[in-house]
């Protein structure tokens, strides 16, 4: 345990000058006029009663929300009709985005656990910083510099992520850090990087409208990405819509073909689809020969995936498989889309790459309406993937590459030895590190590990072993915050500024349209405070504001595939409805649009862009790689004791992750069941004697959960489905990970189903 602390310095009052300064004036000086995006100019001066567009802070669709201001403060919002992402639409979460900020139980002051009473008690920021630095340093002194770790998020701004990664690894001397994007997007990151040379989702949302065959795999955009689904509905080409999913989801019901494959038979099915397309000659030989490598080996490998083998593994009728092959073969602009049903699997990277392989072999990439397209989850998972500086070096670089380290050190003006040469541990390894005693101090930023982590009971037990747990969030009552020793109150989306990067690589602007409550500070300002308190503020002298860091990030991106050095400033982003990377200095010159008070909209060709139109990928020689492996059995399969498969996923479009924010909206709470429910097939319900209304007990080797019974034929017999947002769901899930991305396999474990209480 940590040695007793010396008495803290006398805390200054909350009305300290620095605190007032950091709450500062609201930054709604980027105020729109009705004719943005080509028709108007951003006025230079703040209009106190006007509207301004802010990118939504929930999912990675990245919708533009028009915030209505009175006296410069947000009073309402609507969906921006001119924003190129959502075109005037928003899902329930977007419409309610301001409500969680106004929740009466927002955290307003730092809290410190009283060692005698166990209660969390308010303290000043000065005391909080003293506790943070003294105890983290004490852990390092006792157990080594690598004995502290952080777990962060895809929900804060890119500038904040970059600051956190730099502060922790270069300023505080820590090494092991990761974010909750490991839980949703690590697979896409690794799959793209290995196959295409960079984490580069190739599409633009216009591809939803230009495709004549859309194949959704483990993806339910009707509720998970409803605005993307609206873009599908605008498609004028009467497209075939194919859904590969064990459940007959909302999207499957709306599809022209639902392929109800057995859980986790997707990799076998996709290899079989490739083999059948090869058999039919549906191969773009010109594209394959000019732009890829490894095709011959891939073709030889998939030859073993005969229709008979595929149907045996997937449980599909032969006619269904043949129809899938026929529909994909008939497409001229085929797009493959995947989400968590792929990413959260035990062999997720190879499954994502099986989709990339299909796009490559059929030449369905780099053209309108095509692509192997990962749909991202959190609002800024893409920012995390590029700049969090956790398991990858800033700008999509590698810690182990000396040239990359030199580039980063040169841009930042840091000595080269300040840039770490090794990546840190992934999320699951950090948790294993807590168990082994290697990790003693943990800093959790804007995520709720105790709820969302797979096999949550293990984390809850292990967290009790930590010498020091710090949680930084909007609310002090999250499952994780309740376990902490120190709590730091953070400003939320709409109370700070910065940028997010959405699914289609569009960098969008977040603005401060509300004051954070009490003494809550933006994550950016908290990192500034910690840097100063730790004694490493000198490294971050240039990091004065989010926009100053944005300028640094531009320089870090220069020359990389994600180069956005041509974006002048925040005004440029605002006037353009966001800008997709890449956007180089040469692009800026060609577009003829810059930043500053006179910033205007980008001309049409710059507003919606896809990658790889020239067939050149980011690997040596410009060639994409076919990557494949033999399918494996999931870590835990049903048996006599636990005879069902437990599937998990998104419940409704009104819920977000652990309901930390959406649970604070009266409106959203009306849009989903208050209590956890489980979907059971009618045949299984009849066999088990389960009747509605009734309760069901779900037991796995890790825990038990009682839920309300919902009998529905949309879930396949032999499986049950739980929406992931309710506490206790991850009591049941099993610690199983994809070996390449280390992403948890939330979608498959064995469960027993009986009558519950």
The smaller minimum CB distance to ligand SF4, of residues 94 and 383, is found at 94
For 484, the token pair is 């902490």
DSSP three-state, residue 85: coil
The smaller minimum CB distance to ligand SF4, of residues 493 and 626, is found at 493
Among 427, 361, 10, smallest CA distance to 186 is for 427
Q: How far is the CB of 183 from ligand SF4 (least distance, A)?
A: 18
DSSP three-state, residue 272: helix
Laid out side by side, the sheet with 73-79 consists of 51-55, 64-70, 73-79
Q: How far is the CB of 159 from ligand SF4 (least distance, A)?
A: 19
The smaller minimum CB distance to ligand SF4, of residues 55 and 324, is found at 55
Chain position whose Cβ is nearest to ligand SF4: 94
Would you give the end-to-end CA distance of the chain in angstroms? 41
The smaller minimum CB distance to ligand SF4, of residues 224 and 647, is found at 224
Among 472, 474, 470, smallest CA distance to 486 is for 470
Tokens 């059948």: give the residue. 276
Using the rule CB under 6 A, give the single segment among 90-98, 353-361, 571-579, 584-592 that binds ligand SF4. Answer: 90-98
Q: Note whether 226 binds ligand SF4 by CB under 6 A.
A: yes
Q: How far is the CB of 339 from ligand SF4 (least distance, A)?
A: 13
The smaller minimum CB distance to ligand SF4, of residues 448 and 653, is found at 653
The smaller minimum CB distance to ligand SF4, of residues 156 and 324, is found at 156
Tokens 């990962």: give the residue. 374
The smaller minimum CB distance to ligand SF4, of residues 61 and 66, is found at 61
Give the whole-angstrom CA distance, residue 66 versus residue 37: 14
Using the rule CB under 6 A, give the single segment among 88-96, 380-388, 644-652, 732-740 that binds ligand SF4. Answer: 88-96
**How many chain residues interact with ligand SF4 (CB under 6 A)?**
13
Q: How far is the CB of 63 from ligand SF4 (least distance, A)?
A: 3
**70: number of Cβ within 10 Å:** 11
Residues in the chain, how many? 757
Task: Identify whether the C-beta of residue 341 lies closer than 8 Å to the C-beta of residue 269.
Answer: no
The smaller minimum CB distance to ligand SF4, of residues 339 and 528, is found at 339
Using the rule CB under 6 A, give the single segment among 83-91, 340-348, 513-521, 636-644 that binds ligand SF4. Answer: 83-91
Give the whole-angstrom CA distance, residue 289 versus residue 312: 33
Q: How far is the CB of 604 from ligand SF4 (least distance, A)?
A: 23
Tokens 């500086």: give the residue. 389
Using the rule CB under 6 A, give the single segment among 1-9, 89-97, 400-408, 581-589 that binds ligand SF4. Answer: 89-97
Q: How far is the CB of 85 from ligand SF4 (least distance, A)?
A: 8
Q: How far is the CB of 377 from ligand SF4 (least distance, A)?
A: 10
Give the whole-angstrom CA distance, residue 521 versus residue 323: 56
Give 183-252 as a DSSP string: GTTHHHHHHHHHHHSS------THHHHH-SEEEEES--HHHHSHHHHHHHHT-TT--EEEEE-SS--HHH
The smaller minimum CB distance to ligand SF4, of residues 227 and 450, is found at 227
Q: Note whether 220 binds ligand SF4 by CB under 6 A.
A: no
Give the whole-angstrom CA distance, residue 428 versus residue 12: 39
Query: Cα-flanking dihedrals φ and ψ of residue 97, to 5°?
Result: -65, -30
Q: How far is the CB of 60 from ligand SF4 (least distance, A)?
A: 7
Does residue 490 have a cis peptide bond before it, meaning omega lies within 30 degrees of 0?
A: no
CA angle 676, 678, 679 (to 5 degrees): 145
The smaller minimum CB distance to ligand SF4, of residues 183 and 741, is found at 183
Nearby residues of 658 by Cβ (< 8 Å), 6 or more positions away: 448, 451, 452, 478, 479, 725, 727
Residue list 50-79, contact with ligand SF4 (CB under 6 A): 56, 58-59, 61-63
The smaller minimum CB distance to ligand SF4, of residues 94 and 345, is found at 94
The smaller minimum CB distance to ligand SF4, of residues 90 and 442, is found at 90
Q: How far is the CB of 224 from ligand SF4 (least distance, A)?
A: 9
Choose which of 82, 90, 328, 491 interacts with ligand SF4 (CB under 6 A).
Answer: 90
Q: How far is the CB of 660 from ligand SF4 (least distance, A)?
A: 14
Give the whole-angstrom CA distance, residue 692 versus residue 678: 12
Q: How far is the CB of 101 from ligand SF4 (least distance, A)?
A: 14
**713: number of Cβ within 10 Å:** 11
The smaller minimum CB distance to ligand SF4, of residues 58 and 387, is found at 58
Q: How far is the CB of 656 from ligand SF4 (least distance, A)?
A: 7
The smaller minimum CB distance to ligand SF4, of residues 89 and 261, is found at 89
Per DSSP bridges, beta strands 506-512 and 579-580 are antiparallel
Q: Note whether 227 binds ligand SF4 by CB under 6 A.
A: yes
Per DSSP bridges, beta strands 334-338 and 371-374 are parallel
Q: How far is the CB of 90 from ligand SF4 (least distance, A)?
A: 4
Residue list 170-199, contact with ligand SF4 (CB under 6 A): none
Tokens 């002051």: give the residue. 109
Cα 463 vs. chain centroid, distance in angstroms?
24
The smaller minimum CB distance to ligand SF4, of residues 565 and 576, is found at 576
Does residue 543 have a cis peptide bond before it, meaning omega lies within 30 degrees of 0?
A: no
Q: How far is the CB of 100 from ligand SF4 (least distance, A)?
A: 12
Q: How far is the CB of 228 from ligand SF4 (least distance, A)?
A: 7
> Would you give the binding string for ligand SF4 spanning residues 91-120, x where CB under 6 A is met?
x-xx--------------------------
Q: Note whether 466 binds ligand SF4 by CB under 6 A.
A: no
Residue list 399-438, contact with ligand SF4 (CB under 6 A): none
232-252 burial string, b = 16+ CB within 10 Å, else e? beebeeebbbbbbbbbbbbbb
Q: How far is the CB of 93 from ligand SF4 (least distance, A)?
A: 4
Strand partners, 334: 213
Q: Note whether 383 binds ligand SF4 by CB under 6 A.
A: no
Among 169, 147, 521, 751, smallest CA distance to 529 is for 521
> Would you give the binding string for ligand SF4 spanning residues 640-659, x where CB under 6 A is met?
--------------------
The smaller minimum CB distance to ligand SF4, of residues 90 and 575, is found at 90
Element (H, E) at 547: helix 546-557
What residues line the site for ligand SF4 (CB under 6 A)?
Answer: 56, 58-59, 61-63, 86, 90-91, 93-94, 226-227
């Amino acid at each position: 345990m940590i040695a007793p602390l010396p008495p803290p310095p006398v805390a200054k009052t909350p009305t300290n000058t620095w605190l007032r300064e950091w709450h500062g004036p609201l930054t709604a000086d980027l105020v729109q006029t009705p004719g943005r995006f080509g028709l108007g100019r951003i006025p230079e001066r703040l209009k106190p009663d006007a509207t301004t567009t802010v990118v939504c802070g929930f999912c990675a669709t990245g919708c533009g929300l028009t915030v209505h201001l009175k006296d410069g403060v947000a009073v309402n919002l609507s969906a921006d009709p001119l924003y190129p992402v959502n075109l005037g639409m928003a899902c329930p979460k977007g419409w309610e985005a301001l409500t969680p900020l106004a929740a009466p139980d927002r955290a307003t002051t730092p809290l410190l656990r009283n060692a005698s009473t166990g209660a969390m008690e308010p303290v000043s920021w000065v005391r909080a910083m003293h506790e943070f630095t003294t105890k983290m340093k004490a852990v390092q002194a006792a157990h080594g510099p690598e004995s502290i770790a952080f777990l962060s998020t895809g929900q804060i701004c890119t500038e904040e992520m970059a600051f956190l990664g730099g502060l922790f690894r270069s300023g505080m001397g820590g090494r092991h850090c990761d974010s909750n994007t490991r839980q949703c997007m690590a697979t896409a990151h690794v799959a793209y990087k290995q196959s295409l040379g960079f984490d580069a989702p190739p599409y633009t949302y216009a591809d939803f409208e230009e495709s004549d065959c859309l194949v959704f795999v483990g993806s339910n955009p009707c509720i998970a990405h409803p605005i993307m689904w609206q873009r599908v509905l605008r498609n004028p080409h009467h497209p075939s819509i194919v859904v590969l999913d064990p459940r007959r989801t909302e999207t499957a019901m709306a599809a022209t073909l639902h392929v109800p494959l057995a859980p986790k038979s997707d990799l076998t099915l996709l290899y079989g689809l490739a083999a059948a397309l090869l058999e039919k000659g549906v191969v773009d030989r010109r594209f394959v020969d000019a732009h890829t490598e490894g095709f011959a080996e891939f073709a030889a490998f998939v030859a073993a995936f005969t229709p008979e083998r595929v149907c045996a593994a997937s449980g599909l009728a032969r006619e269904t498989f043949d129809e899938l092959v026929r529909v994909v073969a008939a497409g001229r602009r085929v797009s493959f889309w995947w989400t968590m049903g792929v990413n959260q699997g035990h062999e997720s990277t190879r499954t994502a790459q099986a989709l990339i392989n299909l796009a490559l072999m059929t030449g369905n990439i780099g053209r309108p309406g095509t692509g192997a397209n990962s749909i991202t989850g959190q609002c800024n998972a893409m920012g995390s993937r590029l700049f969090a500086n956790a398991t990858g070096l800033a700008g999509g670089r590698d810690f182990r590459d000396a040239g990359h380290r030199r580039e980063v050190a040169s841009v930042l003006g840091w000595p080269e030895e300040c840039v770490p040469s090794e990546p840190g541990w992934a999320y699951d390894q950090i948790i294993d590190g807590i168990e082994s005693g290697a990790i003693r101090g943990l800093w959790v930023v804007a995520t709720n590990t105790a709820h969302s982590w797979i096999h949550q009971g293990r984390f809850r037990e292990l967290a009790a072993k930590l010498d020091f747990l710090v949680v930084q969030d909007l609310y002090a009552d999250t499952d994780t915050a309740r376990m902490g020793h120190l709590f730091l109150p953070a400003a939320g989306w709409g109370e700070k500024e910065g940028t997010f990067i959405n699914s289609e690589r569009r960098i969008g602007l977040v603005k401060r349209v509300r004051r954070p409550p009490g003494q809550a500070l933006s994550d950016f300002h908290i990192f500034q405070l910690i840097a100063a308190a730790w004694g490493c503020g000198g490294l971050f002298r240039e990091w004065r504001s989010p926009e100053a860091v944005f300028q640094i990030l531009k320089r870090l991106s220069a020359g990389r595939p994600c180069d956005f050095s041509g974006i002048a400033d925040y005004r440029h982003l605002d006037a353009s409805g966001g800008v997709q990377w890449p956007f180089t200095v040469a692009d800026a010159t060609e577009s003829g649009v810059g930043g500053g008070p006179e910033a205007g909209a980008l001309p049409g060709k710059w507003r919606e862009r896809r990658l790889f139109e020239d067939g050149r990928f980011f690997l040596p020689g410009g060639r994409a790689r076919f990557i494949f492996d033999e399918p494996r059995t999931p870590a835990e399969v049903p048996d006599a004791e636990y005879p069902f498969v437990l599937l998990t996923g998104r419940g409704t479009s009104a819920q977000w992750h652990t309901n930390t924010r959406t649970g604070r909206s009266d409106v959203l709470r009306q849009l989903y069941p208050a209590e956890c429910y489980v979907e059971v097939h009618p045949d299984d319900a009849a066999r088990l004697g389960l009747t509605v209304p009734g309760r069901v007990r779900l037991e796995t080797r890790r825990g038990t959960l009682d839920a309300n019974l919902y009998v529905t034929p949309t879930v396949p017999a032999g499986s049950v489905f739980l929406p992931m947002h309710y506490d206790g769901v991850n009591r049941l899930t099993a610690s199983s990970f994809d070996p390449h991305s280390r992403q948890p396999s939330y979608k498959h474990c064995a469960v027993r189903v009986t009558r519950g209480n």
